Amino acid sequence: MAPTDETGQVSQHASSSGTTPPDRPPAGHGAAAPGAGMPRWLPRAMVLALALIAAFQLGTWAFHQLIGLLINILIAFFLALAIEPAVSRMAAHGIRRGFATFLVFLGLLIAVAGFVTLLGSMLAGQIIKLIEGFPEYLDSVINWVNTTFHTDLRRVDIQDSLVHSGWLRKYVQNSATGVLDVSAQVLGGLFQLLTIALFSFYFAADGPRLRRTLCSVLPPSRQAEVLRAWEIAVDKTGGYLYSRGLMALISGVAHYILLEALGIPYAPVLALWVGVVSQFIPTIGTYLAGALPMLIAFTVNPWYALWVLIFVVVYQQFENYMLQPKLTSKTVDIHPAVAFGSVIVGTALLGAVGALIAIPAVATLQAFLGVYVKRYDVTDDPRVHGHRIRGTGKNLLTRARRLFEKGRSAGSEEDSSRG
């Protein structure tokens, strides 16, 4: 035992002789000595964790700020894929690719401008006609209400109540204050259209250069896959636009027959409007397309507007559940259920943009993955074609009968043994 002094402490001689007190663990064995510093890796780990959290927050903020631009670039990319066949065909005949892209965009711009101008002039004329004939329509409605409900309404009283109503005054004030908001939305929409047009022009005009840039950072095996995916995307996008154009033609013809039968003016133009808008503006295209023919029909006869509404709703159901799945499965080569589900998923993720590009995107992915899926010959079994094997029900019935008879015979033998 080590000698101690009067205070009970281990003497200097014992500590210097190297003898370790029994109540103090040896160095390097057990807990760290009191007052020892934190591990060297802990500050660096804390700094790294904080840096990762800050980078994640910054990336999330940047993604939310740029989500509009990313969606515009995605739309521009699919638009460039849609015009790629026309640009490539013109470039194959010796026309510079940039000039060929300019000609395609110029043709699209002229077609859209002419269509909008024609519809605008027609709509302006019909609105003027509707405003001029509004007192007559109002008198007819008032006469019908007075005759049906035995009231004594007059057009002058209704006009005075509307003019002096607080609701109308409040509506005018709100409309005046909302002019700036509408102007800002219109300017924002024009800027988005310009952004999409510029990106799609660059994607189409510099398509070969873009493909070379992508392939230059990939090994040769991956380059072939990228080029194959690009070619598949062009084919599927073209097939999708072809199916949309075909459905627009069918829709236009069907609505033209209805409008012509009802005697609605400008029937060809209205039918063209319904066909184009309902197919190429997703989600709200059908309602926007049907509103204009209903308005024009109302100027002829209010009941005609109701007939147009019923026809639009019925035809939309026919198109959604019968026409669109069959045409999409033939032109884009995907199952109707997959096409319907992809539109729902695209709408949930990206709204109207997702509904528009969902089918070509899924068709491209399906065709690209189909190259790498190994397939086998299907066995020649009737069950593959949905038929039952003959005699299956008979065999099951025979087995059940045998089991029943065996159980009954075993029961009878047990009863006889007991007796």
Higher pLDDT: 202 or 399? It is 202
Are 201 and 301 within one domain? no
Are 360 and 253 within one domain? yes
pTM summary value: 0.62
Higher pLDDT: 375 or 136? It is 136
In order of 249, 266, 336, the CA distances from 329 in angstroms are 18, 34, 6
Are 205 and 287 within one domain? no
**Last residue within a domain, chosen from 200, 217, 234:** 217
Residue 385 resides in a domain:
no
The per-residue pLDDT for 175 is 62
Residue 161 resides in a domain:
no
Within 93-177, where are the H helices? 97-132, 134-149, 155-163, 166-177
Are 263 and 358 within one domain? yes
Are 206 and 131 within one domain? yes
Expressed as residue numbers, the domain containing 235 is: 225-371
The per-residue pLDDT for 18 is 47
Per the DSSP assignment, residues forming a β-bridge with 181 are none
* pLDDT surpasses 70 at 391: no
Torsion of CA 227, 233, 239, 240, to 10 degrees: -170
Are 89 and 110 within one domain? yes
Are 208 and 269 within one domain? no
Q: What is the pLDDT of residues 65-119, one digit of tens each?
A: 888 888 888 888 888 888 888 888 898 888 999 999 999 999 989 988 887 887 7
DSSP summary character for residue 333? -
Residue 348 resides in a domain:
yes
Are 110 and 201 within one domain? yes
**Last residue within a domain, chosen from 178, 197, 217:** 217
The per-residue pLDDT for 36 is 57
Are 258 and 366 within one domain? yes
Number of domains in the chain: 2
How high does pLDDT run on average in the chain? 77
Are 229 and 213 within one domain? no
